Amino acid sequence: MNATQRPPAAHHAAHAASAGTPLRPPALQRLGLQRLRALPQPAERAMHAQHDAELEQMLPVLGPLFGLGMLLFTVWDMLLDPHLARYTLALRALAVLAGSAAYFPNALRWSVEWRCTHIYVTHVCALILCAFILPQGLVYGLAGIAACDFAAALCTLRLPVFARMLAAPTVLYVVLSAWRLPWLLCVSGLMQYAFTVALATVMLLVMRMFQQKSFLLEQQLLHLSQHDSLTGACNRRYLEEVAERELALAQRHGRKLAVAMLDIDHFKQVNDQYGHETGDRVLQALVRTCQGELREIDHFGRLGGEEFVCVLPETDRDDALRCAERLRHSLSMLAIATPFGPLHFTVSVGVAVYGPGHANWPALLHDADLALYRAKHDGRNRVVLASLR
């Protein structure tokens, strides 16, 4: 199966959902929360990559803001104990200094999730230590400490990463509370803390559900905008986009590139004799067959009507001719079932190989088109190579 034939991640997910795979727990289904389960692996990876890229962009702003908020807490420290406030300010400044390396991507070569973890752990641990230093700080500061859980939930869609971020601050808070507070205050503080963690976890799961929904929708829209609705092949606009990319690679790195342009012979007669619906099925069968014959790295698209194009990267003249001949032969062997018996059809193919004379994609396509015209002119059902530029 090649790249164009493979359904997009969204389709995998939609298929898995419609097939009622065992991935969907009935309890979640009853609650309407079936999207809490993971998407298929490739879609899940792509969704997290998208989330990480957005976070990467926001971190240089959100990181320093978090640090600034940390320092501003000193005002509260001064209200509690002006004498101790100078020590807590020093501690907060130290934490901001230690965490600030992770605010910006170039300073550390860590992934964005590890940078978030680093910022969160340094800052929140300092917050807890300050609360411990101040009289009754662990009681008065509980709301601020617990609210940080929500900041952690905003940083990731992955539960293990969320747990990793919270682990060290939670252990520190539990140990210091047990040490400093009377047992009743300690237990009530821990219960409030646990409640906030639970709320932040629910928030993360709900955000993840929305993210999955919008990601799947985005993938479906992308697929619709790039593919022909009748045959599923790449549409003209998307094909031009990938062809320009392949041509740029060929020009820059001296790679080989070939193009094969296919046109069904006497397709008008097929429509006239068998009807448009059969004509459509011929087009669909052609696309299925070509996609099955081509490699993963090839691109196959519909230019319009009954005209198709294969973009063949890393392919020289001989390989391109062999590939075009194989397609022509496979298509001529197809039999489309109709009420009047099996329908056979043939194609003519024009092949052009990239050379220094091809300044852009239209120039290369134009040569393939000329070769196709010669194939038609010479009697159809054949492959013709364009003269080299």
Ligand X SMILES: Nc1nc2c(ncn2[C@@H]2O[C@H](COP(=O)(O)OP(=O)(O)OP(=O)(O)O)[C@@H](O)[C@H]2O)c(=O)[nH]1
- The binding site for ligand X (CB under 6 A) comprises 230, 263-268, 271, 276, 279-280, 283, 305-306, 376, 380
- Sort strands 257-264 and 299-304 into parallel, antiparallel or unpaired: unpaired
211-228 CB burial, b ≥16 within 10 A, e <16: bbeebbeebbeebeebbb
User: What whole-number distance in Å separates Cα of residue 264 and Cα of residue 197?
Assistant: 63
3-state DSSP assignment of residue 249: helix
Compute the least distance from the CB of residue 367 to ligand X, in Å: 18
Compute the least distance from the CB of residue 5 to ligand X, in Å: 19
C-beta of residue 169 within 8 angstroms of C-beta of residue 117 = no
User: What whole-number distance in Å separates Cα of residue 284 and Cα of residue 275?
Assistant: 15
Compute the least distance from the CB of residue 339 to ligand X, in Å: 16
**Residue owning tokens 């639970």:** 198
Pick between residue 245 and residue 376 the one whose CB is nearest to ligand X: 376
Cα end-to-end distance, the chain, whole Å = 33
Compute the least distance from the CB of residue 7 to ligand X, in Å: 21
Pick between residue 212 and residue 278 the one whose CB is nearest to ligand X: 278
C-beta of residue 247 within 8 angstroms of C-beta of residue 316 = no
Pick between residue 189 and residue 279 the one whose CB is nearest to ligand X: 279
Pick between residue 292 and residue 305 the one whose CB is nearest to ligand X: 305
Q: Which residues contact 332 (CB under 8 A, 6 or more apart)?
A: 344, 345, 346, 347, 381
- Sort strands 307-313 and 257-264 into parallel, antiparallel or unpaired: antiparallel
Compute the least distance from the CB of residue 231 to ligand X, in Å: 8
**Residue owning tokens 């999730």:** 113
The residue among 380, 362, 385 whose CA lies nearest residue 316 is 385
Pick between residue 251 and residue 381 the one whose CB is nearest to ligand X: 381
Compute the least distance from the CB of residue 272 to ligand X, in Å: 7
Pick between residue 67 and residue 279 the one whose CB is nearest to ligand X: 279
Pick between residue 266 and residue 322 the one whose CB is nearest to ligand X: 266
Between helix 142-155 and helix 159-180 the angle, nearest 10°, is 170
Compute the least distance from the CB of residue 200 to ligand X, in Å: 53
Compute the least distance from the CB of residue 298 to ligand X, in Å: 23
User: What whole-number distance in Å separates Cα of residue 351 and Cα of residue 158?
Assistant: 49
3-state DSSP assignment of residue 264: strand
Compute the least distance from the CB of residue 252 to ligand X, in Å: 36
Helices (H) and strands (E) in the chain, counts: 15, 5
The pair phi, psi for residue 112, each rounded to 5°, is -65, -30
**E strand segments, the chain:** 257-264, 299-304, 307-313, 347-353, 383-385
Compute the least distance from the CB of residue 370 to ligand X, in Å: 15
Pick between residue 21 and residue 269 the one whose CB is nearest to ligand X: 269
Q: Which residues contact 375 (CB under 8 A, 6 or more apart)?
A: 348, 349, 350, 382, 383, 384
Taking CB positions, which residue lies at the least distance from ligand X?
Answer: 279
Pick between residue 265 and residue 369 the one whose CB is nearest to ligand X: 265
Pick between residue 166 and residue 331 the one whose CB is nearest to ligand X: 331
